[in-house]
């Protein structure tokens, strides 16, 4: 019998479960699938926005949108078009019910457990095809899946030691194949983020100007220390790289931002004799503020356009 067995809502950036349906089946196959759910939850930020994992008698499908992923487990013969229609309905209801601020700041697992009521009602409708609304345009969904099929995840990939470090969202459209470059979209830019970007550019420009002045001074006075020139230009590179990390997604993005901030601090410590305390405080504070904004601007899933 083809049917949906369970579903869950998970935050993409850290795999925190936000809500889930109540499962009563304790069979060995279901226990194994729950393990796959947890493994996938930890890799959502590295996966495309629409995927399918075939696990023998069961299929796991999920879509990701605006930093939240909607996952479901169904029998292997359950129609793919209905599975993604089901997920799309969960996605629309969740976005309508909860704003992004709540989902981004959630700390406790299953803090939106009341959404389970909607999941259960929707699951019952999709398990009884006669009760499905005739307004659903399944033809559009079928066309969408043919044009942009879900990426097929294999169990061997999921269990591999390297996980999905090679997978990116960028270029699997139409073919389901994944590019090696991590071109993942980030969350929308906020006003503090824009401010940090502009201030980082300003600090980079100030370091660059002081670096050229240090070169002029070095040419005029042979006793000048060339290491100051290096410190100014390293500070410029660090500030500009913070701007790059804020705009684009890269692997180990958070770690790179902390290392870049550390370089900014080291450069300013070395330039202690050439800058007053206010200048040092300004450069270090801007570096810390930019690091925080890079950390807050996380990758997001692509918003699906299923046209259902």
Q: How many CB atoms lie within 10 A of CB 260?
A: 23
Q: What is the pLDDT of residue 224?
A: 64
Q: What is the pLDDT of residue 110?
A: 87
**139 has a pLDDT exceeding 80:** no
**75 has a pLDDT exceeding 80:** yes
Q: Among 27-31, 58-62, 282-286, which range has the highest average pLDDT?
A: 282-286
Q: Which residue has the tokens 């300013």?
A: 268
**Nearest one of 167, 188, 131, 153 to 71, comparing CA atoms:** 153
User: How buried is 283 (Cβ within 10 angstroms: 0-12 exposed, 13-18 middle, 19+ buried)?
Assistant: buried
**187 has a pLDDT exceeding 60:** yes
In this structure, the strands spanning 50-55 and 151-153 are parallel
In degrees and rounded to multiples of 5, residue 54 shows phi and psi of -95, 125
Residue 135 vs residue 271, higher pLDDT: 271
Q: What is the pLDDT of residue 26?
A: 63
Q: What is the pLDDT of residue 56?
A: 78
Q: What is the average pLDDT value for the chain, to the nearest integer?
A: 81
Which pTM value belongs to this model?
0.54
Q: Among 1-10, 94-103, 240-249, which range has the highest average pLDDT?
A: 240-249
- Helix (H) / strand (E) element for 254: namely helix 253-270
Instruction: Give how far the C-alpha of residue 64 lies from the chain's centroid of Cα atoms, to the nearest Å.
Output: 9
Residue 157 vs residue 48, higher pLDDT: 48
pLDDT in tens, 105-138: 888 888 888 999 999 988 888 888 666 654 455 6
**145 has a pLDDT exceeding 80:** no
Q: What is the pLDDT of residue 239?
A: 94
**296 has a pLDDT exceeding 70:** yes
Q: What is the pLDDT of residue 133?
A: 56
pLDDT in tens, 81-95: 888 888 988 999 999
pLDDT in tens, 198-254: 999 999 999 999 989 888 888 887 666 788 889 999 999 999 999 999 998 888 888
**308 has a pLDDT exceeding 50:** no
pLDDT level of residue 300 (50, 70, 90 thresholds)? low
**197 has a pLDDT exceeding 90:** yes
pLDDT level of residue 261 (50, 70, 90 thresholds)? very high
d(CA 107, CA 170): 30
Q: What is the pLDDT of residue 171?
A: 42
Q: What is the pLDDT of residue 170?
A: 44
pLDDT level of residue 264 (50, 70, 90 thresholds)? very high
Q: What is the pLDDT of residue 55?
A: 82
């Amino acid at each position: 019998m083809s049917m949906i067995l369970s579903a869950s809502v998970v935050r993409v950036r850290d795999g925190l479960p936000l809500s889930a349906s109540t499962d009563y089946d304790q069979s060995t196959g279901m226990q194994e699938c729950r393990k796959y759910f947890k493994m996938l939850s930890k890799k959502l930020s590295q996966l495309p926005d629409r995927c399918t994992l075939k696990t023998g008698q069961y299929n796991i499908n999920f879509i990701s949108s605006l930093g939240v992923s909607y996952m479901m487990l169904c029998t292997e013969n359950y129609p793919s078009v209905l599975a993604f229609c089901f997920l799309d309905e969960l996605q629309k209801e969740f976005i309508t019910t909860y704003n992004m601020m709540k989902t981004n700041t959630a700390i406790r697992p299953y803090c939106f457990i009341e959404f389970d009521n909607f999941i259960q009602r929707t699951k019952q409708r999709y398990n009884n095809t006669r009760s499905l609304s005739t307004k659903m345009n399944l033809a559009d969904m079928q066309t969408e899946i043919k044009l942009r099929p879900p990426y097929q995840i294999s169990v061997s990939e999921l269990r591999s030691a390297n996980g999905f470090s090679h997978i990116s969202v960028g270029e699997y459209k139409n073919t389901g194949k994944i590019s090696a470059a991590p071109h993942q979209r980030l969350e929308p830019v906020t006003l503090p983020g824009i401010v940090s970007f502009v201030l980082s550019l300003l600090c980079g420009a100030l370091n660059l100007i002081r670096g050229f002045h240090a070169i002029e001074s070095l040419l005029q006075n042979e006793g000048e220390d060339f290491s100051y020139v290096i410190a100014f230009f390293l500070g410029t590179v660090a500030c500009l790289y913070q701007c790059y990390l804020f705009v684009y997604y890269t692997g180990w993005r958070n770690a790179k931002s902390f290392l870049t901030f550390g370089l900014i601090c080291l450069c300013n410590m070395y330039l202690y004799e050439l800058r007053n305390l206010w200048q040092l405080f300004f450069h270090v504070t801007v570096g810390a503020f930019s690091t925080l904004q890079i950390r807050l601007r996380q990758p997001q899933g692509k918003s699906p356009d299923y046209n259902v």
